[in-house]
Amino acid sequence: MTDSPLAQAHGRYIRGSASKVRRVLDQIRGRSYRDALIMLEFMPYRSTGPITKVLRSAVANAENNLGLDPSSLFIKTASADMGPSMKRYRPRAQGRAFAIKKQTCHISIAVAPSTGSSSTEASD
């Protein structure tokens, strides 16, 4: 199982909080590439755009660097970690300032070819 080829892609400094990106990644983790693309297309979240770009990049890496067929790939790992926050201030009443944190995150997706005895396919 550790010998299977793995293709990865990372999206760094993506605008949006890591928790909002994770709720989308939790839905597509363990699914096939085709199913994940269909799900991402119809989800109503803003974070699906950057996630789709990172997923397509991971599949392109698998296809060009490892010679794998995109139709046989599934999402092995998908994670979102916090990036740096941009600090901005909004003026408030009586000369006060209200701090606003514009959060960023780092998205990591790894794809691998599916095998006949995969535990993710057996649990569906």
Task: Output the pLDDT for position 118.
Answer: 47
- Both tokens assigned to 29: 């983790």
* Fold assignment, 7-117: Ribosomal Protein L22; Chain A (3.90.470)
Alpha-carbon gap, residue 62 to 40, rounded angstroms: 20
pLDDT (tens digit, 9 = 90+) per residue, 61-93? 999 999 999 999 999 999 999 999 999 999 999
Compute the distance between CA of residue 9 and CA of residue 60 in angstroms, rounded to an integer.
9
pTM: 0.85
The low-confidence residues of the chain, meaning pLDDT below 70, are 1-2, 116-124
The pLDDT value given to residue 2:
58
pLDDT at 114: 85
What local confidence, expressed as pLDDT, does residue 115 receive? Answer: 77
